[in-house]
């Protein structure tokens, strides 16, 4: 199948994609080290956190084998993040704030790239927004399921909503202007800004009222 990914994912976005992979992998590795999981488990959690969103997206849109499995850079970066976290955990644990910033960057990039890839594979606009959001949040969900916890994306500050907004801007831009390159830039910036503002201001989605 011919796809015009080249237009969307420029060299700049590719670099950001790899940064996002590395930072998401760090989040998986930290999760494993905190639970005293062994070296192998830490490496698996790194890889899963970095790539599960993209892998599930690729399986759903029929793009098998998934890029994260075929392209050696994803696994190499994931393993590197896992080893760094495993052997220098106290160091990684200290730089929490920069990690949140990189994580927000990764979220924005993954949401935008995921929506773009779904459009390139001829999915409809609603499905493409869904795939963009999934690419952004899927890795974190899989990471938390593997350590038997309720995914933090369900309680974090506007995490999924930011991914949704970024993906929606890409899809709207594509259907209005026919080209998604500027929309991708705007979508990514909006997603990252929303997420960082939400962390700083403590914005959260509401929780339902219950009878006790």
Does residue number 39 form part of the binding site for a second copy (CB under 8 A)? yes
Cα–Cα distance measured from residue 187 to residue 194, given in angstroms and rounded to the nearest whole number = 11
The residue (of 158 and 192) whose beta carbon lies closer to a second copy is: 158
Tracing tokens 């896992």 back to the chain, one arrives at: 82
Q: Please count the CA atoms within 13 angstroms of the CA of 30 that sit on its side-chain side.
A: 17
Tracing tokens 């976005």 back to the chain, one arrives at: 13
CB of 182 to a second copy, least distance (A): 26
Does residue number 1 form part of the binding site for a second copy (CB under 8 A)? no
Q: Which of 7, 95, 145, 176 binds a second copy (CB under 8 A)?
A: 145
CB atoms within 10 A of CB 84: 17
**Non-local CB neighbours of 76 within 8 Å, separated by 6+ positions:** none
For residues 89-121, one letter each, b for 16 or more C-beta atoms within 10 angstroms of the residue's C-beta and e for the rest, the string is eeebeeeeeebeebbbbbbbbbbbbbbbbbbbb
The residue (of 13 and 136) whose beta carbon lies closer to a second copy is: 136
CB of 159 to a second copy, least distance (A): 8
Contact pattern from residue 78 through residue 97 relative to a second copy, giving x for each residue in contact according to CB under 8 A and a dash for the rest: -------xxx-xx--x----
Binding piece for a second copy, criterion CB under 8 A, among 19-27, 99-107, 124-132, 190-198: 124-132
CB of 150 to a second copy, least distance (A): 5
Does residue number 60 form part of the binding site for a second copy (CB under 8 A)? yes
Cα–Cα distance measured from residue 97 to residue 95, given in angstroms and rounded to the nearest whole number = 6
Alpha-carbon distance values, 54 to 82, 95, 137 (Å): 19, 26, 10
Does residue number 202 form part of the binding site for a second copy (CB under 8 A)? no
Tracing tokens 């950001």 back to the chain, one arrives at: 16
Binding piece for a second copy, criterion CB under 8 A, among 2-10, 13-21, 69-77, 172-180: 69-77
Q: Which two tokens stand for residue 89?
A: 């955990």
Does residue number 191 form part of the binding site for a second copy (CB under 8 A)? no
Does residue number 182 form part of the binding site for a second copy (CB under 8 A)? no
Where on the chain is the footprint of a second copy (CB under 8 A)?
Answer: 32-42, 44, 55, 59-62, 64-66, 69-70, 72, 75, 85-87, 89-90, 93, 121, 123-124, 126-127, 130-131, 141, 145-151, 153-155, 160-161, 204-211
């Amino acid at each position: 199948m011919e796809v015009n990914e080249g237009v969307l994912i420029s060299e700049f976005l590719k670099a950001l994609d790899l940064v996002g992979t590395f930072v998401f992998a760090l989040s998986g590795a930290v999760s494993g080290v905190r639970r005293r999981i062994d070296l192998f488990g830490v490496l698996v959690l790194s890889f899963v956190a970095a790539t599960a969103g993209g892998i599930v997206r690729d399986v759903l849109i029929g793009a098998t084998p998934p890029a994260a499995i075929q392209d050696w850079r994803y696994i190499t970066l994931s393993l590197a993040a896992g080893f760094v976290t495993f052997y220098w955990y106290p160091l990684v644990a200290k730089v929490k704030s920069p990690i949140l910033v990189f994580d927000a960057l990764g979220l924005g990039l993954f949401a935008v790239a995921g929506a773009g890839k779904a459009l390139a594979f001829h999915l409809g606009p609603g499905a493409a927004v869904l795939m963009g959001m999934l690419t952004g949040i899927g890795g974190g969900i899989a990471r938390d399921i593997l350590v038997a916890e309720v995914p933090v994306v369900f309680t974090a500050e506007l995490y999924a909503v930011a991914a949704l907004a970024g993906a929606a801007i890409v899809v709207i831009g594509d259907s209005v202007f026919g080209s998604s390159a500027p929309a991708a830039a705007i979508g990514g910036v909006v997603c990252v800004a929303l997420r960082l503002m939400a962390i700083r201001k403590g914005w959260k989605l509401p929780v339902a009222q219950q009878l006790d």
